[in-house]
Structure 1
Amino acid sequence: MGGLVIRRWTAFSVCALVVAVALLGPFLGAGSPTTPVGAPFQPPDHHCLLGTDKLGRDVLTRLLHGGYLVLGLSALATVVSTALGGLAGMLAGLYPNRWGRLAIRVLDALTVAPPLLVLLVLAAGFPGCDLVIVLAVVLTTAPMSARVVRAATSAVAAQGYVEVARARGDSVFSLLRHDILPNIRGQLLADAGVRFVAAIYLSSTAGFLGLGHGAPAPNWGQMVAENLAGLSLTAWPVLAPAMLLAAFVIGVNLLADQWGRVAT
């Protein structure tokens, strides 16, 4: 029990630290993230604690300014995806008629296209728009959420108390609010954590590929891509953003797993 608590608080602390860097970083960065301050790929020193990138810009300053977009877009996409997928899944599980099955089949069709392909197609149609990242995440993850929630809802809907609630004429909203949602919140939380991780992967990949709001604005995914050429000279321009992303993804996975177990 003590080990679980320690892991939970460790994961929470790591996530909170990364979120703090992303949200408070723009207010803590002393300089401009787009202004060169030294030679390209300069090693860390007392002026630039993490060295400089390929254009001589301070890596620490860009790191502090580059996280809010990745995490913000991922959080927005996760909320929309979980809400839409969860609602569709609950309705399909509560009413497994032909319309419910048809809705799931339509959502299944959306999972055929690879997420990266969907992102590239949307980015080609709307270049420089960050909302295409959100849309790509929603289109590729909401159907998966719907399937998970539908399976959980079907098991709950078969219980006697749900049948009693239906027999006395409870509304759909009342059934979802009082009978279904409280009993599947564990699965919903765990699934939201998985979708959040997928959203971070896709938004980071978008930055890596230069999609959405591109250079010179800093982006953790973009920082990894644009500084790979100088990895042999100094590793921090690549390692620093990659480590923050990796730590956050691991922390979210652990938290989602723990919250899912507690809720169930």
Structure 2
Amino acid sequence: MTTVMTRGRRPRPVGPGARRRRPPLFAGAGALLIILLALLGPPAAPHSPTAQLGAPFQQPGGEFLLGTDILGRDVASRVLSGGRTIVLIATAGTAVAGVAGVFAGVLAAMVSRRFGDVVGRFADVLAVLPALLLVLVLAAGFPGSDVAVVVAVALATMPFSIRVLRAAAETILAGGYVEVSVARGDSRWAVLRHDVLPNIAGPALLDTAVRFVASLHLTATAGFLGLGRGGAAPNWGRMVNENIPGASLAMAPFLAPALLLVLLSVCVGLLAGRLADAVGRGAA
């Protein structure tokens, strides 16, 4: 077993035992297909997702592939149109939390111990607030606003990203090769660019995958509670809540969106777990 030292990356083992397994094909394909369905589904809807086209809770078949919902709307059209909002809100919330986590976490590790403690206390304050309470307060303050849900999701997941990435950056800065860079006269910007950021890319990617699952759950919960864009706009979370009363009459109206949400969470979670294994082996 040999060790390779390169600027911008930690020492890593090289040899037959260092090969990384590929992410599970099924999980990756499943997550990609559901995300594509959510993003590209609205134009493919056979009917208007908000129009009442038949009797409530018609069984699947004929004109309505998945039947109709509690108001007689086409379930297939609502399923195809109801995922885009959830995926986009979860993605936006994850992106905001991830960028803020990298920025605050790296600054907390690099500036000074006192500044890092201040950032840590701020993250602790946000972390003790119940995530659902944040969503409820912001969504109630800005009714019908998807932006409010994005902000709430970002605030709820941000403190954990700050903690993870601060710890990762501190580990990098404690490495001997960073001390060599500083002794050589490299500026903080050079250390950040060549040593810190490349080496926290793995933990940041893993954290993003985990936070996306959490953001997806919060976004679906917000839809279930009727928060964000309201009215007749389709939303997988809201569809579950709307059609539960008729579960004994028709399963598809609430089961189809619920299964898509569960499958997307499971597939992304499996990818995050495999990524965690890869990052752990790379750090060994």
TM class, shorter-length: over 0.9
Given the alignment of the two structures, is residue 135 of structure 1 paired with residue 151 of structure 2, yes or no? Answer: yes
- For 1:169 and 1:247, the matched residues in 2 are separated by 51
Question: Contact between 1:189 and 1:260, CA under 8 Å: does it hold in 2?
Answer: no
The aligned counterpart of 1:21 is: 37
Given the alignment of the two structures, is residue 68 of structure 1 paired with residue 84 of structure 2, yes or no? Answer: yes
The one of 207, 210, 213 equivalent to 2:223 is 207
Structure 1 length normalisation: TM-score?
A: 0.94
Deviations 1:79-120, CA, capped at 9 Å, x for gaps: 110111122112222345111111111121111110110111
Given the alignment of the two structures, is residue 157 of structure 1 paired with residue 167 of structure 2, yes or no? Answer: no
Which deviates further from its counterpart, 182-191 or 48-57?
182-191
The one of 93, 104, 123 equivalent to 1:77 is 93
Letter aligned with residue 194 of structure 2: H
Letter aligned with residue 209 of structure 2: G
- For 2:84 and 2:125, the matched residues in 1 are separated by 32
Q: What SS does the aligned partner of 1:108 have?
A: helix
The aligned counterpart of 1:47 is: 63
- For 1:168 and 1:84, the matched residues in 2 are separated by 30
The aligned counterpart of 2:131 is: 115
Given the alignment of the two structures, is residue 196 of structure 1 paired with residue 212 of structure 2, yes or no? Answer: yes
Which deviates further from its counterpart, 167-176 or 232-241?
167-176
Structure 2 length normalisation: TM-score?
A: 0.88
- For 2:48 and 2:190, the matched residues in 1 are separated by 52
Q: What SS does the aligned partner of 2:200 have?
A: helix
Q: Which runs of 4+ in 1 moved over 6 A?
A: none
Given the alignment of the two structures, is residue 218 of structure 1 paired with residue 234 of structure 2, yes or no? Answer: yes
Letter aligned with residue 106 of structure 1: F
Once the two structures are TM-superposed, the CA of residue 11 in structure 1 deviates from its matched residue by 0.7
- For 2:184 and 2:240, the matched residues in 1 are separated by 58
Deviations 1:177-220, CA, capped at 9 Å, x for gaps: 21112222222111111110111011111110111101200000
Given the alignment of the two structures, is residue 168 of structure 1 paired with residue 174 of structure 2, yes or no? Answer: no
The aligned counterpart of 1:87 is: 103
- For 2:116 and 2:63, the matched residues in 1 are separated by 61
- For 1:256 and 1:107, the matched residues in 2 are separated by 23
The aligned counterpart of 1:251 is: 267
- For 2:186 and 2:225, the matched residues in 1 are separated by 50
The one of 148, 164, 170 equivalent to 2:164 is 148
Q: What SS does the aligned partner of 2:249 have?
A: coil
- For 1:78 and 1:173, the matched residues in 2 are separated by 26
Once the two structures are TM-superposed, the CA of residue 153 in structure 1 deviates from its matched residue by 1.5
Letter aligned with residue 153 of structure 2: V
Given the alignment of the two structures, is residue 98 of structure 1 paired with residue 114 of structure 2, yes or no? Answer: yes
Which deviates further from its counterpart, 60-69 or 97-106?
97-106
**Superposition RMSD on alpha carbons, in Å?**
1.6
Letter aligned with residue 142 of structure 1: M
- For 1:256 and 1:236, the matched residues in 2 are separated by 30
Letter aligned with residue 165 of structure 2: V
Which deviates further from its counterpart, 30-39 or 218-227?
30-39
- For 1:98 and 1:83, the matched residues in 2 are separated by 22
- Gap regions ≥5 residues in structure 2: 1-16
The aligned counterpart of 2:256 is: 240
Q: How many residues align?
A: 261
- Gap regions ≥5 residues in structure 1: none
